[in-house]
Chains A and B, each alone.
Chain A
Amino acid sequence: MFTKIFIIYFFVLLFISIPAQAEKVQLKHFVPGSYQQLLEKNADKPFMLAIWSTTCSSCMEKMALLNELKESRPEINIVMLSTDDVSVSDQIQTVLAKNELAALDNWVFADENAQRLRHEIDPKWYGELPRTYFLNKNHERQGISGALSQEDYETILKVILN
């Protein structure tokens, strides 16, 4: 795990160096019905839903890996969903911009009742983070809690892409 220094360094860099980039991140509001919308938009296509938060240290540590994945496996459709309050959208956008994840399909929880959104995604998900769902083209899915390694991603993606 990275240190508090890493986190501070990370955020300081974000705040002082890339305000212009932050403005470019389109952050869609995840509301009741959004998960179904995601499924419809990705009909007959595999995709990966990466759920994260700025207050989850493990999530922040794995941002760079997600960027690497995006670069090395452009055929993977990665959807990012932040469970932070929509009021901290600036911080979310800054994190995404810094990690060059702005071009992905980015969402943020935007309902006063977060449990309603969690339940819509997965009734059995307790809210632990990071949480990643891998959906094949038939949208049969596997949900995994906790930080994943490069090898984890490769192993699972090999399965869902076939």
Chain B
Amino acid sequence: MFPMPSADYRMLFSKSSTLTVAVVVMWLNCSIIFAASTVSYSKSTLGLYDISTFDVYVDGRIIHIIAGGKKTANDQQFSIRYTRSEDGGRHWKNPVTLDIQLSEVNASRGNDIQLATKDKRLVALWQSQGELPGMGPLAGAYSLDNGRTWQQSLNPAGDNDGSQAYIDLIADLRGNFHVVWLEDPDENGYQSLRYARSIDSGQQWSQPVTLDDSTCSCCPNTFALSPKNELSVLYRDMTPRDMSLLQSSDSGLTWRRINTVGNFDWNFKGCPHVGGGLGYIENDDVAQLHSVVWTGVEEKPGLYYLSSSNNGQTWSIPARLGETAIHGDIAALDSRKVFAIWNEMEAEGLSVFYAVSEDGGASWLKPKRLTEAGNAATHPKLVSTRQGVLAMWTEKPSKQPSRLAWQIFK
């Protein structure tokens, strides 16, 4: 079970109430046997009033969290805080408030603030609020001292009058930082997948380039880094609205389209607001790529798991996860044990379910509930750590502020 947080931060990180996830009633020789199992998880607002956006990132043995929300119930000012764990998520450092001047922040769940780290260097990016609803330029900050102090960074898109959203950020093995986002820089009527990189920890960014000039306009993008330092980007294409995979093997200098991840041939003109999950695990010098993708195709909408043993060239037959699953993520503990997590749509709200594969994704055990629907948990994320797989999400029980919640699976 998840240990209690350190005494220093007990006010910030508390254990959740117990959640009964299964009650089995068996009739046996006229007697009733109850067998109940429980799942408990931790939760926090990092000392803020609420949490409306977050990201979690693993670099070596360190787990990093960046999150934003209001300081107080009546406060309109947004605050961003950073914290880290050096023991697999058991204890967390006292959160640091990013002491930079913040313009109005537009980040929210599904269009979240993003964080990437390499050693002592950290970069965070988010969408700020422009003049029009839901639109605004990228903004960001970087730290060169383990997140103790932060400086304002330049907009990688280079256009503070434009609108850039659905950011993802990653650091490669050499310490270069890479960012993708959606933008319509040429005002051609389509959102493009745009990319830039920084070789100085987010202080300056390369000239942005377009990786795909027509994409879905409102779906999150996902980076993954292979053990051989190859960059992969999973994003939702325009036509059809399936998820596509791009890769670069030269640290972002050149890119090539690899394949579609799940050929659902979903033709849709609208806003799904759903991306996918992507993660590598290496075994005997062979990198296995795991993915979850969502499709709204009429005959079989839902969340699907796929894997590739040839770096995305070909993919397994999509395996459906959950009943009415959405907002999925994926992470592998080792070459055999793979975890998938998602939201399940229920009458009382969104709940979080997860499933485990013990054979590298070939088959999946029965999904388990992590949260009650009434907690309105959303957009769960998974990251692999040295101590296990960390699941993290936000939840907002009725009439309570939204908060971070997490659980570690071994």
Contact = CB atoms under 8 A, between A and B. Distances in A.
Given A115-B345, A126-B345, A58 B324 contact: no
B348 interface: yes
Contacts of A56: 218, 270-271
Given A58-B271, A124-B324, A115 B132 contact: no
Interface stretch (A4-12, A65-73, A154-162): A4-12
Chain A interface bracket (under 10, 10 to 19, 20 to 34, 35 or more): 35 or more
Interface in B80-139: 131-135
Interface stretch (B7-15, B185-193, B242-250, B364-372): B185-193
B396 interface: yes
Nearest to A131: B270
Contacts of A118: 345
A118 B190 CA distance: 28
A99 interface: no
B134 A116 contact: no
A54 interface: yes
B376 interface: yes
A123 B396 CA distance: 20
B270 A147 contact: yes
A138 interface: no
Given A58-B270, A145-B268, A113 B184 contact: no
B302 to A, nearest CB: 9
Given A128-B272, A129-B271, A112 B132 contact: no
A126 B376 contact: no
Nearest to B375: A113
Interface string B163-177: 100000000000000
A159 B347 CA distance: 31
A151 B87 CA distance: 60
A49 to B, nearest CB: 16
Contacts of A7: 132, 135
B318 interface: no
Contacts of B131: 11
A2 B190 CA distance: 8
B268 A112 contact: no
A106 B7 CA distance: 51
A3 B189 contact: yes
Contact of B187 (A5, A127, A145): A5
A55 B268 CA distance: 17
Given A57-B218, A126-B274, A116 B296 contact: no
A145 B296 contact: yes
B290 to A, nearest CB: 22
Contact of A4 (B187, B218, B373, B396): B187
Interface string A100-127: 0000000000001101101110011011
A128 B131 CA distance: 25
Contact of A123 (B294, B347, B349): B347
Contacts of A57: 217-218, 271
Contact of B376 (A3, A4, A6, A115): A115
B398 interface: yes
A129 B272 CA distance: 6
A116 B345 contact: no
A1 B348 contact: no
Interface in A1-31: 1-8, 11
Given A57-B218, A119-B345, A128-B273, 4 more contacts: A8-B132, A84-B133, A128-B272, A128-B274
15 contacts: A2-B189, A7-B135, A54-B134, A55-B133, A56-B270, A58-B271, A59-B270, A84-B133, A113-B398, A115-B346, A115-B350, A116-B349, A126-B324, A127-B326, A128-B268
Interface of A: 1-8, 11, 53-59, 84, 88, 91, 112-113, 115-116, 118-120, 123-124, 126-130, 145-147
Interface of B: 131-135, 162-163, 184, 187-190, 217-218, 268-274, 294, 296, 301, 324, 326, 345-350, 373, 376, 396, 398-399
Closest 6 CB pairs of A and B: A55-B134, A3-B189, A146-B270, A56-B271, A147-B269, A58-B270
